[in-house]
Structure 1
C-alpha cells in the first residue's frame, strides 16, 4: 500500500524536512495507525513529548484513512523536489493511475484527485483518467462511488496550462480536441449508473463545482468554498450547469455564480441546494464515513434502478445541454476575450 511505501521512503530523504514537517509526519503517522490521540498530556518539562502530543492532538477526529492519505501526500511533497514519488498504488484498484488514487473497500469505490501540489487542477491526463475510473467503477461490484480530493483542496478546476500545449493544428485543433474531451468527460458523469457522492474536502473551483449538479449527494467541510469564475476568464458554463444550477437554486442565484463569479461558502452552497450537508472540519471525515458505510449496505440493484427513475427522464436533456455548452466553449476558447484573460492569468503568476 502507498502508506507502507511512504513510510519506507521517508528514510530516503536527503534533505532534513525541518521540525515543523517532522512533527506533522509524526502526528499523521500516529493518527493513521492508532486513531485520535487519547494519551495523557506530557509534563511541562518534556518539551519534545509535549510538541509531539500537541501535533497529534491537533488532528482531532480525522479518520485513520484520511490520515494515511495525508501522510502519503506529505511524504510525496517532500520527495518531489528530489525527483522521487511514493510509488505503490492502493490495493483494490483495478488499474494504475498517475493523477488519481482509486480504491474499493466495503462496497465503496473512492476516486481521489491526486495532484495536491497543483491543488488537484485537472490536466488532460487527469480528464482521461477520471473517464476511465468512472467507466470501471460503473461496472464493478461496489454499491456507491465517492469522489474527493487529496490535500487541502478538493479541486482547483481546469489546469490552465492545458492552454499552453498547442498541437500541430494550432489553436483551432486545440479547441476542437478540448471540446471533444470535455464532452466525453461530462458524458461519463451523465451516464454513470450508480449513486455518485461528492466529498468536498476543501475549496472547489470551475468544472469541479459545475459537475456537482450531476451528483446524487454532496457533502462538504465547513471550510469548503465554491467558485465558478467563467466570465473572469472569458469563458462560459460547462458540465450542464447552465441547466442544473437554475433548476437547483433558481435563475437569480445561479446567475450570481455562473455570470458574476460569486464565490459561495459551504453554508451558502447548502442553503442554495448545491450541497446536501455541511460538517465541522474537525469531524468531517468521520461523519461522512459513517454515512457512506450505511449507504454501502443498501441493496445495489434497488439504488441503481431508483437512480434510473430519478435521472432517466432528463438524461436526454442533459446530453443536449452538454453538446450546446461544449459548442459555445470551443467558440470562447478561440475568442480574443478568453485568450487575453488567460494571458493575464499567467502574467500575474510571474
Structure 2
C-alpha cells in the first residue's frame, strides 16, 4: 500500500489466487464528497505503473482495477496542473507529459486481461484509458466525461483513436470537443462498457464474473488478448506519443496556463 503525500491518495494491490486487484482510494475526504482525490497525479501514476509491472511478472491470471468510495477517477485535476506548471513550465510540462505517456503505455503493453469495475464517475484520463482495458463493468451510478476542450487540453489515453473506433466519430467528437457526459447505460449501448449492474449488488456481480474468468487457463486468456490487441499495438504506441507531445506543447504555452486559470476561476465562482 502506497500513500501519496501530495493528495493523500492510496493505491492498494491485493493478490488472491489467480486475481491481482488494484484499488484506488482517498485518505482524507469523507464518503460522498466531490470532487474526490484526483487519481492520476504523478506519484500515483508511477505507482500504478510499478504495480502493473509487478502484476505482469507474478502468477496471477488477470488484473481487477477498481476504486474505493463513490468516484472511480476524476482525472488530471486542473489545480494540480496549475500548481506544477507555475513553478517551472517547461520542465514540469515535460515531466507531466512523460508520466502520462508512461502510464498509458503500461496499459497498452500489459499482457494479461485487465478488468475494470467503475463504481462512479470516470472523468478525463480515467475515462480515456477504458478502451485500453479488456472488460469494463459499471455501476448504474457511473458516468463518463472527457472535458478536454474546456480545460484547453487535447485528448489523452489514446482516446483520439480509440473513442472514434468504439463510439463512432460523431459521439467521440462530442465527448472530446464538447465534454458530453455519458450515463452508464449510454456507455454500455455504445460499447465503452460491457455490462451495467445495480449499485447495491455491484461488487458481488463483479467478483462473481471475475472468478469465472480466473477459472480459465492463464495461457488462453493471455494469448486471446494478444490476438485481439496485437493488430493495433503499434498504432496505439504512436497515438500515445503524439497525444503526449501535443499536451506538452499546450502546457508550455501561455494560452494553456491562461485556460487552466480561467477554468479554475469559473469553478470557484460556481
TM-score norm. by structure 2 comes to: 0.90
Task: Report the alpha carbon displacement of residue 281 of structure 1 after superposing the two structures with TM.
Answer: 0.8
The residue that corresponds to 1:145 in the other structure is: 63
Q: Which runs of 4+ in 1 moved over 4 A?
A: none
- Residues 98-177 of structure 1 mapped to structure 2, 5 A cutoff: 98=4, 99-115=10-26, 117=29, 119-121=36-38, 122-160=40-78, 161-166=80-85, 170-177=88-95
Over residues 142-162 of structure 1, what are the superposed CA-to-partner deviations in whole Å (9 max), with x where a residue is unaligned?
111011111110011113313
1:227 CA drift (Å): 0.6
Instruction: Tell me which of 176, 179, 182 is aligned to 1:264.
Output: 182
Query: How many angstroms apart in 2 are the aligned matches of 1:195 and 1:158?
Result: 25
Residue 181 of structure 1 pairs with residue 125 of structure 2: no
| Offset at residue 297 of structure 1 (A) | 1.0
1:264 and 1:195 map into 2 onto residues whose CA distance is 25
Q: For residues 289-346 of structure 1, give each alpha carbon's deviation from its aligned partner in whole angstroms, at most 9, with x where no partner exists.
A: 1001111111111111111111111101100000111111111223344322321233
Greater C-alpha radius of gyration: 1
CA distance in structure 2 between the partners assigned to 1:241 and 1:250 by the alignment: 12
Residue pair 1:193, 1:307 contacting (<8 A) in 2 also: yes
Q: Whole-Å Cα distance in 2 between the matches of residues 240 and 133 of structure 1? A: 21
Q: For 1:312 and 1:324, how far apart are their aligned partners in 2?
A: 20
1:238 Cα deviation from its structure 2 partner: 0.5
In structure 2, how many angstroms separate the alpha carbons of the residues matched to 1:221 and 1:182?
26
Match of 1:239 in 2: 157
Higher RCO (C-alpha 8 Å, min separation 6): 2
How many residues were matched structurally?
Answer: 255
- Deviations along 1:3-53, one digit per CA (max 9) or x if unpaired, are xxxxxxxxxxxxxxxxxxxxxxxxxxxxxxxxxxxxxxxxxxxxxxxxxxx
Query: How far did residue 166 of structure 1 move?
Result: 4.5
User: Following the alignment from structure 1 to structure 2, what is the Cα–Cα distance between the partners of residues 167 and 261?
Assistant: 26
What's the Cα RMSD here?
A: 1.6
Q: Answer with 209-218 or 280-289: which moved more.
A: 280-289
Residues 276 and 191 of structure 1: CA distance in aligned 2, closer, same or farther (over 3 Å): same
Contact 1:120 1:154 in 2 (8 A): no
CA displacement at 1:231 relative to structure 2: 0.3
From 209, 214, 230, the equivalent of 2:127 is 209
Q: Which has the higher strand share?
A: 2
Runs of 5+ consecutive residues of structure 1 not aligned to the other structure: 1-88, 90-95
Once the two structures are superposed, the pairs formed by residues 51-70 of structure 1 within 5 Å of their partners are none
Q: Deviations over 1:199-238 (max 9, x none)?
A: 0011110001000010101000001010100000001101
Which stretches in structure 2 are left out of the alignment for 5+ residues? Answer: 5-9, 30-34
